[in-house]
Structure 1
Amino acid sequence: MGTDSATFDPDAPLARSITTLDAPLIWPVTHHAKNHSPRPGGVIGADGHFVDLSHCRYTSTKRWTLPCVPDPDVPVTDMPGTWLYGGVLDPAFGHCIIESLSRLWVLDHLDTPPDGIVFLPAVHRSFYQRPKRYLAATQAVFDAFPGLPTRRACPTQPARPERLILGAQGMGGGDFSPGAPEFRAFIKRHFLPDVAPAGSENLYVSRARLSVMGNLMFEDRIEALFAANGYEIFHPEAHSLTEQVARYRAARRIVTVEGSALHVIAYALAPDQPVEIGIIPRRTTGNTASFVAQLHWQSAARVHVIDTLTRLYHPGRIYGEQSNVRALHDLRRMADELAALGLIENATPIANPTEDEIATALAALPKQMVRMEL
């Protein structure tokens, strides 16, 4: 796939995209308080032209970067040695584990490993101009890949590597969710390969303890439903990636709310692991379909979507990906669907909240929420 193709082809190999540039410029994306992306940034060749292969994307049609030109008045730092271009380094876990890993597949196609990996810093207000924060916040993800180059750089000012190896982006969101063939092979080969299965065969992966706006209402009731059906209730944020992977590799039934835990599950599962996965949506965007596609291409899981959404509640300004909404499900219908799919045996120990209970739950949120019927 060329970097400017309209769609991403998960069957198309990327190995022929690998190229090495002498003395290019890494031009970081600049911060702007009113908007995160897309913004000019990427790689500029020694000839002064922007390198299209360095574009970073959320999907094939949604760019994270735009072409840029060098500013001769801005000082440049030299980076001796050979570096792999890693694309965007995003401290947000869900983006880090897909976009910030999306070019590591190139390492499996090099005769000599590079001296390090160099990234563009994602534009986050509390991280910008603090490269050590980017590196520290993402260290656990990169530690899950033994044998990577130990040096990572995230320059927030223009930098000039002595040599730079580039390969096409092999993973992302939307139509990028299946991953390229080389990316899928890299993940199965290198993502915590020595972690053995350990834990329950039935796992409910919960978001109930996350202090985020984007979540389900009354997930404690859903937890109780699964506990009554013999599931272990698992909160991944309380465990290391190693512990998470061990649990997912041991499971035969996993149900979870749509979210970044599904990226880890897709990476962790053995290519032939027989597992049933249920996904409960928390928004009405295409994110759930992206996770289904990722699991289809990166695992042998049988995936079921339990879509019993009835309402969304959102602040006055709703983000495009609905990352700040609270989702209300018909819990009784959810339980019946779970039972029909064979994911639980007993659907009775759950009740829908009353309107008064819903109002009380909304009043406890830090922002006034607007009701959206579905």
Structure 2
Amino acid sequence: MTQIRPGDIFPVPEPDQGWSREVMTVDDAIVWPAGPMQRIPMCGITHADGRDCPEAAIYRGDTRMMAPVAVETRPQPAARLPGTHLWGGQVFAHFGHFMTETIPRLWASTHAGVESIVFIGKHEQLQKFSPWQQDFLALLGMDLPVTFVTEPTRIERLMVPGQGFGLGRIARGTPEFRAFIGRLQDRIEPKGAERIYVSRTKTGKKGRVLNEYSIEQNLIAQGYTAYHPQDHSPAEQLAQYMAATHVIGLDSSAFHLLGFMARPGQRVAVVLRRNMMAYVNIQRQLEGMLGRSPDIINVLLGDWMPPRQKGANRESWGQVDHHRLVARLTDLGYLDRPEAWTYPDEKDFNIAFAKFRKRMGGEVVFRPVEVPIEKIVAAARKD
């Protein structure tokens, strides 16, 4: 078991070794739920003597970043839960964070003698799973009772599994987590089109690229099926991703679910919709399942956003070079008839831009790509 000495920096979870693959026991643990909604809440687990339990936190990125802030001194909890229970972690309503940060400890759910799985919400109003989350957990065969802790609670014995998956290097997943999530492929029958485009044309204001409709229609003409994940249940999405031989899509949370079904031989192209590092976790997750990197396509010219915003985020809209996109897709073997592609003209752009500006509700500015994000990522990895 990993031992932490005063002054040490607790190591981030690694996909192949360390505490991410272990289960520790905390006797007389205290579980502290989150309070009001905030970006990084104060919550988590402490030992009986008040020491923080860093193994129970969520880690993001390649350097130490605990998502909940370590719990400070609070009044002793009045609630008690006898018996042996498993720490499930923090529940997020957001699709991508649920997939990457709520389920990474469930690989240990078969631990002998566990009476329930203990969760806390992202904030105090989140006290249960949504219907689609319940459906997904059922697909994983989760039949243990769930305990949602909504007030500080002392638990007789709490088993704390390592974070087997998440955002950062751990996105590749530990062998234990990959084996656990692999049960989805045993329980889902492939069903759907062989070539799909994971579309964001129905996501409204949420981050997209200008003239995405043109990309979608051209890919349909090339034999692809436009697939809108939000219109389908988790089981239906998993079945479609398992059936697909070729997948193209803008970088988004949908690829995290695809990442659970990805298999060697499947072709996956991730088209960047924003000049930011969010795609790296998708790339790492797919590497862990495919055994190789997916095809990352960056043909961004720049990002559109409100004037006060300084950089791309999940709601900014990218502008891509459609000619370069077609060239890359052709070189990588995703297109059979590139000569049939029809490109958006200035009129098409103006129509798309007017709709985008209306959705954003005001002025927007264009920030051209000065340094492609993959070069920034490569330089960071060298350091």
TM-score, normalised by the number of residues in structure 1 = 0.88
Report how far residue 300 of structure 1 moved.
Answer: 4.1
Within 5 Å, which residues of 2 pair with 1:297-312? 297-300=288-291, 303-312=294-303
Structure 2 residue aligned with 1:28 = 33
CA distance in 2, matches of 1:205, 1:356: 24
Q: From 250, 255, 270, give the equivalent of 1:257.
A: 250
CA distance in 1, matches of 2:42, 2:267: 42
Deviations 1:283-327 (A, max 9, x none): 212222221111111224662112111121112454977112111
Structure 2 residue aligned with 1:174 = 168
13-22 or 293-302: which moved more?
13-22
Structure 2 residue aligned with 1:68 = 71
CA distance in 2, matches of 1:159, 1:48: 13
Structure 1 residue aligned with 2:374 = none
Q: Does the CA-based 8 Å contact 2:15-2:165 persist in structure 1? A: no
When residues 7 and 19 of structure 1 are mapped into structure 2, their CA distance, relative to the original with a 3 A threshold, is: closer
Alignment length, in residue pairs? Answer: 359
CA distance in 2, matches of 1:321, 1:55: 28
When residues 319 and 103 of structure 1 are mapped into structure 2, their CA distance, relative to the original with a 3 A threshold, is: farther
Deviations 1:216-273 (A, max 9, x none): 2221111111101111111111111111111111111111111111111110134xx4
Structure 2 residue aligned with 1:357 = 351
1:78 aligns with 2:80: yes
Report how far residue 100 of structure 1 moved.
Answer: 0.4
Letter in 2 for 1:24: A
Q: Does the CA-based 8 Å contact 2:262-2:286 persist in structure 1? A: no
CA distance in 2, matches of 1:187, 1:181: 10
The answer for unaligned runs of 5 or more in structure 2 is 370-383
Report how far residue 26 of structure 1 moved.
Answer: 0.4
Q: From 136, 139, 158, give the equivalent of 1:141.
A: 136
The answer for unaligned runs of 5 or more in structure 1 is none
Q: Larger % of helix: which?
A: 2
Deviations 1:140-176 (A, max 9, x none): 3312211x24422332321222321102111111222
CA distance in 1, matches of 2:241, 2:174: 23
Letter in 2 for 1:352: P
CA distance in 1, matches of 2:21, 2:195: 42
When residues 41 and 321 of structure 1 are mapped into structure 2, their CA distance, relative to the original with a 3 A threshold, is: farther
Q: Does the CA-based 8 Å contact 1:26-1:42 persist in structure 2? A: yes
Q: Does the CA-based 8 Å contact 1:206-1:233 persist in structure 2? A: yes
CA distance in 2, matches of 1:214, 1:183: 30
Structure 2 residue aligned with 1:165 = 159
Letter in 1 for 2:52: F
Structure 2 residue aligned with 1:327 = 318
Report how far residue 5 of structure 1 moved.
Answer: 4.5
44-53 or 87-96: which moved more?
44-53
When residues 251 and 301 of structure 1 are mapped into structure 2, their CA distance, relative to the original with a 3 A threshold, is: farther
Q: Does the CA-based 8 Å contact 1:276-1:302 persist in structure 2? A: no
CA distance in 1, matches of 2:165, 2:178: 9
CA distance in 1, matches of 2:98, 2:163: 13
Within 5 Å, which residues of 2 pair with 1:79-158? 79-108=81-110, 110-112=111-113, 114-123=114-123, 128-132=124-128, 134=129, 136=131, 138-146=133-141, 148-158=142-152
When residues 275 and 249 of structure 1 are mapped into structure 2, their CA distance, relative to the original with a 3 A threshold, is: same
Q: From 58, 61, 75, give the equivalent of 2:60.
A: 58
Letter in 1 for 2:30: L
1:274 aligns with 2:259: no
Tell me the C-alpha RMSD between the 2 structures: 2.4
CA distance in 2, matches of 1:70, 1:137: 36
CA distance in 1, matches of 2:119, 2:105: 10
CA distance in 2, matches of 1:54, 1:99: 12
Report how far residue 340 of structure 1 moved.
Answer: 1.6
Report how far residue 23 of structure 1 moved.
Answer: 2.4
SS in structure 2 at match of 1:237:
helix
